[in-house]
Structure 1
Amino acid sequence: MLLQLMKKREGAYTVERKRRTEHKPTEEASVPEYLIYPLSMHIGAPAKPVVEKGDYVKIGTLIAEKEGFISANVYASISGQVKEISDQPTMNGKGPCIVIKNDYQDVYEAPLLSEGEELTVDQKKSLIEQAGVVGMGGATFPTSVKLSPPPEKSIDTLIINGAECEPYSTSDHRLMVEYAEQLIEGIRVLHEVLPVTKTYIAIESNTHESVAVMKAAIEDVDHIEIKELETIYPQGSEKSLIKNLTGREVPPGGLPADVHTLVTNVATTFAIYEAVRLGRPLTKRITTITGEPIKEPKNLWVRIGTPIQHLIEECQGFQSKTGKMIHGGPMMGKPLTSGQVPITKGSSVITFLEKEEAVRSERTPCIQCAECLHVCPVSLQPILISNAYENGDIDQAEKLGAMDCIDCGNCSYICPSKIPLLDNIRSAKSEIKARKEDN
């Protein structure tokens, strides 16, 4: 009798939808009359407004400052007048925002540093903190915190994450193709502030153009290696990258610093370059606007605070009926119900699905196929966590490792019974967090 062993995939092969934007150079998006700046566009405490209604601001004016250790500054991306500070639609529901009316003059504040100024390591870290740089691949964790681990967790390995695994997103790909030199300079900044001995640039093997451009960019640079990775979702997750590139495993509930590694997205690395070399705060980013309903999908340089509705018009509107609008991609993204939701620091892609794509198939009983276990990149048992949540056993969901879920969505994607596994696990995580806050 032969035993057939199933290799643990720890990922899923998704249908790629990058073809409509991967070869489109970035364009500057036009700027609307009103921009909206959520005070919470990062992990941690919301920023505190430092402007009032009627104040005049410039591009690069600090409008909300970080509150506490894990928080981030927010800057104006236009010049104009503060119209109001009020609750507005955001990707997380209604929340406090600063609304600024554009005067279309594009008046700039002075840079955060003087030209030619020599900086110490601490000053460079401070500039990154001042500039409001956060993880721009979607996590939005304040970068300055990641750059200051305790001495026993000093960083020796740096991973630049260009593994853009969401099926529609091409913003990181275009950034690597068009701004390779600036990215390498951002890596040099990181080398100056961290005691790293090895740097990897991780790129999925299907993005041939960015691989070629980045390989050319590092020809004369020491201690940087391009790593082409299998195109499998979620190849770009921190824990997967660390394991695949270094063999190190981040412990359950742990952080990359626990294994002396720092992972930073390519867009974050570009923002680090602009902060330390040019003294520019984070006021804009590349965002892919795409999906079959969009008439002319684009990769756009977008001012942070721009409502998504304005970008839909920038892409000539819709060519077919839209069934769902998602902040992010279809795997990890959050559905949106309002075009007034603004682009924030973590908005790498806005995806639109046709009505047929967005219809959720009818749920049927679990057939115990174990596919959700096979594709989980962090080796959880999604169906058991989901069952615990649906049975009201939050303690059991926590014991099963719900808090270690990285929200990749592989389990829901692969489930033949169409059980809302990710939705249930996310809800379990929210209840676990709420309990801890209450205590």
Structure 2
Amino acid sequence: MRLKTKQKAIFPKLNKARTHDKPIEHIDAPAIMVYPMSMHIGAPAKPIVEVGSTVKVGTLIGEAQGFISANIYSSVSGEVILIEDREIISGVVTCLIVKNDGQYTEEPPFPEAGKDVAPELVPELIRRAGIAGMGGATFPTDVKMRPAEDKKIDTIILNGAECEPYSTSDFRMMLEYADEIIEGVRVIDGVFNVDKIYIGIEDDAKEAGERLREVASDFDKIEIKVLEAKYPQGSEKQLIEYCTGRQVPSGGLPADVGCVVSNVGTFQAIYRAVRLGKPLVERVTTITGTPIVDPKNLLVRIGTPIDDLIDICGGFQEAPRKVIHGGPMMGRTIRDGSVPISKGTTHITFLTASEVDDEERMDCIRCSECLNVCPVSLQPILISNAYERGDIEKAEHLGAMDCIECGNCSFICPSKIPLLDNIRKAKTAIKQNAKAV
């Protein structure tokens, strides 16, 4: 049964057809790999190897710093040849450059991992493995698995609602790795012993729901929620409301309403960490868009520069005008093909000149469409105006920090005002002001 949900959404072209039926392809890594020390929300990892160090697949090369941070592991064997600051998606970050020896020699698995891991050890193994949210948010997963003692978790939600246009990486994972995903759910259920487990998928991915239902046939707690395909259906707070009827309060977290929510790929990574003792060194990524000759879903080693994936997909049939890390709604423009695949790279989207909207910005026409489509009921134009005036306190008062950065407002704006960009900048300024106090 498909659940009809209230609007506060948009219906962009999905553009998933070219990769929807493409099985995941395993590929080798290129000769040079790039590892940013910040592939996650929170404090960057600290490099713990030096130039000239020999590494293996699974060698810890960046150590988490602080509670909200994540370890970084080498995904190839070889030699560290350079440590330098480079500009990537999130800004200038310290990066380790490794020369791949092509042998893929592996470190031993975590000795504590296996079938009988004690529930209290699970969050520590997740932290050790460097797992961060693989749907793109990249929040360190172990933190979610350590809620405050006064927070009773009674519901687990798997986010398979892949609403961003072009991406099919989650869909293919649910089809091809359903057994590992469900085993990851069993691991987390062992930690919380919840009452209910929901798997949220959109109605254009019913095959994935059927496959997961088949694998979980003996798991009575699990219920598949088939949701209307709209954007941003996969937003965490909206998914909680659609599945449970509960509303996360402003400034609150899923744990405040008894929920733990993670992407389906994150649950697969949890399985591999806890049962197999493997750190996070690879992920499924969709390489797609009109300019690409042969779009694919690839199992890519983290640290692979995007340039090296273009030839694997047949090169270009038309020169791209724009390259996006992610999709056109929430993604960020890439200006350098040396930017690597990271933990949160669900897809890379290439767009032609005709697909890029180059219309000039105009004054706001007061149509209120940005308010109508905001899934968290903000006033995007007012927050944007406050930021452009330099009134950061006003932007905060208007709820800028509650923005989920879905991009609906910028997509719908007829005046082409950079609403999402301005709100992102306002959030950064608010955080900087808080640190200065």
Smaller-chain TM-score bracket: over 0.9
Per-residue CA deviation, residues 92-122 of structure 1 (Å, 9 max, x unaligned), is 2332011110111111110012675732112
Deviation at 1:218, TM superposition (A): 2.0
Among 340, 343, 349, the alignment partner of 1:342 is: 340
Per-residue CA deviation, residues 149-190 of structure 1 (Å, 9 max, x unaligned), is 011112111100000000100000000011111111011001
Look up the equivalent residue of 2:105 and give its one-letter code.
V
CA distance in structure 1 between the partners assigned to 2:124 and 2:422 by the alignment: 39
Look up the equivalent residue of 1:101 and give its one-letter code.
K
CA distance in structure 1 between the partners assigned to 2:156 and 2:353 by the alignment: 41
Show the counterpart of 1:378. Answer: 376
Aligned residues between the structures = 433
CA distance in structure 2 between the partners assigned to 1:275 and 1:430 by the alignment: 33
CA distance in structure 2 between the partners assigned to 1:64 and 1:291 by the alignment: 33
Among 167, 179, 182, the alignment partner of 1:181 is: 179
CA distance in structure 2 between the partners assigned to 1:168 and 1:352 by the alignment: 10
Question: Is residue 361–residue 417 contact of structure 2 (8 Å, CA) maintained in 1?
Answer: yes
Look up the equivalent residue of 2:216 and give its one-letter code.
I
Among 341, 346, 362, the alignment partner of 1:364 is: 362
Instruction: Report the TM-score, using the length of structure 2 for normalisation.
Output: 0.97
Deviation at 1:38, TM superposition (A): 0.4
**Structure 2 unmatched ranges of 5 or more:** none
Question: Is residue 29–residue 311 contact of structure 1 (8 Å, CA) maintained in 2?
Answer: no
Question: Is residue 161–residue 263 contact of structure 1 (8 Å, CA) maintained in 2?
Answer: yes
Deviation at 1:395, TM superposition (A): 1.3
Deviation at 1:30, TM superposition (A): 2.5
Deviation at 1:77, TM superposition (A): 0.4
Between 386-395 and 328-337, report the one with greater CA deviation. Answer: 386-395
Per-residue CA deviation, residues 310-364 of structure 1 (Å, 9 max, x unaligned), is 0112111111121111111100001010000000000010111111212332222
Question: Is residue 8–residue 374 contact of structure 1 (8 Å, CA) maintained in 2?
Answer: no
Name the Cα RMSD after superposition: 1.3
Show the counterpart of 1:257. Answer: 255
Show the counterpart of 1:9. Answer: 7
Show the counterpart of 2:246. Answer: 248
Between 300-309 and 352-361, report the one with greater CA deviation. Answer: 352-361
Look up the equivalent residue of 2:260 and give its one-letter code.
L
Show the counterpart of 1:311. Answer: 309
Look up the equivalent residue of 1:335 and give its one-letter code.
T
1:217 aligns with 2:215: yes
1:55 aligns with 2:56: no
Between 422-431 and 231-240, report the one with greater CA deviation. Answer: 422-431
Question: Is residue 206–residue 226 contact of structure 2 (8 Å, CA) maintained in 1?
Answer: no
* TM-aligned CA distance change 1:436 to 1:61, over 3 Å: same
Look up the equivalent residue of 2:334 and give its one-letter code.
L
Local SS of the residue matching 1:242:
helix
Among 226, 234, 237, the alignment partner of 2:235 is: 237
Question: Is residue 285–residue 303 contact of structure 1 (8 Å, CA) maintained in 2?
Answer: yes
Between 339-348 and 363-372, report the one with greater CA deviation. Answer: 363-372
CA distance in structure 1 between the partners assigned to 2:270 and 2:104 by the alignment: 23
Instruction: Report the TM-score, using the length of structure 1 for normalisation.
Output: 0.96
* TM-aligned CA distance change 1:293 to 1:189, over 3 Å: same
Deviation at 1:40, TM superposition (A): 0.6
CA distance in structure 1 between the partners assigned to 2:428 and 2:114 by the alignment: 47
Local SS of the residue matching 1:45:
coil
Show the counterpart of 2:84. Answer: 86
Look up the equivalent residue of 2:203 and give its one-letter code.
S
Per-residue CA deviation, residues 137-160 of structure 1 (Å, 9 max, x unaligned), is 011111111000011112111100
Look up the equivalent residue of 1:22 and give its one-letter code.
H
* TM-aligned CA distance change 1:408 to 1:84, over 3 Å: same
Question: Is residue 376–residue 410 contact of structure 1 (8 Å, CA) maintained in 2?
Answer: yes
Local SS of the residue matching 2:262:
strand
Show the counterpart of 1:199. Answer: 197
Question: Is residue 113–residue 273 contact of structure 2 (8 Å, CA) maintained in 1?
Answer: no
* TM-aligned CA distance change 1:376 to 1:149, over 3 Å: same
CA distance in structure 2 between the partners assigned to 1:105 and 1:297 by the alignment: 28
Show the counterpart of 2:412. Answer: 414
* TM-aligned CA distance change 1:13 to 1:116, over 3 Å: closer
Local SS of the residue matching 1:278:
coil
Question: Is residue 114–residue 277 contact of structure 2 (8 Å, CA) maintained in 1?
Answer: no
* TM-aligned CA distance change 1:114 to 1:240, over 3 Å: closer
Among 121, 124, 133, the alignment partner of 1:123 is: 121
Local SS of the residue matching 2:41:
coil
Deviation at 1:302, TM superposition (A): 0.3
CA distance in structure 1 between the partners assigned to 2:11 and 2:198 by the alignment: 24
CA distance in structure 1 between the partners assigned to 2:79 and 2:99 by the alignment: 5
Look up the equivalent residue of 1:252 and give its one-letter code.
S
Between 263-272 and 250-259, report the one with greater CA deviation. Answer: 250-259
* TM-aligned CA distance change 1:309 to 1:116, over 3 Å: closer
CA distance in structure 2 between the partners assigned to 1:94 and 1:432 by the alignment: 20
Show the counterpart of 1:137. Answer: 135
Per-residue CA deviation, residues 222-251 of structure 1 (Å, 9 max, x unaligned), is 100000001110000101001111111111
CA distance in structure 1 between the partners assigned to 2:11 and 2:234 by the alignment: 13
- The percentage of aligned residue pairs carrying the same residue is 58
Question: Is residue 251–residue 401 contact of structure 2 (8 Å, CA) maintained in 1?
Answer: yes
CA distance in structure 2 between the partners assigned to 1:321 and 1:161 by the alignment: 34
CA distance in structure 2 between the partners assigned to 1:429 and 1:8 by the alignment: 27
Show the counterpart of 1:3. Answer: none
Show the counterpart of 1:4. Answer: none
Question: Is residue 205–residue 211 contact of structure 1 (8 Å, CA) maintained in 2?
Answer: no
Question: Is residue 286–residue 346 contact of structure 2 (8 Å, CA) maintained in 1?
Answer: yes
Look up the equivalent residue of 2:145 and give its one-letter code.
L
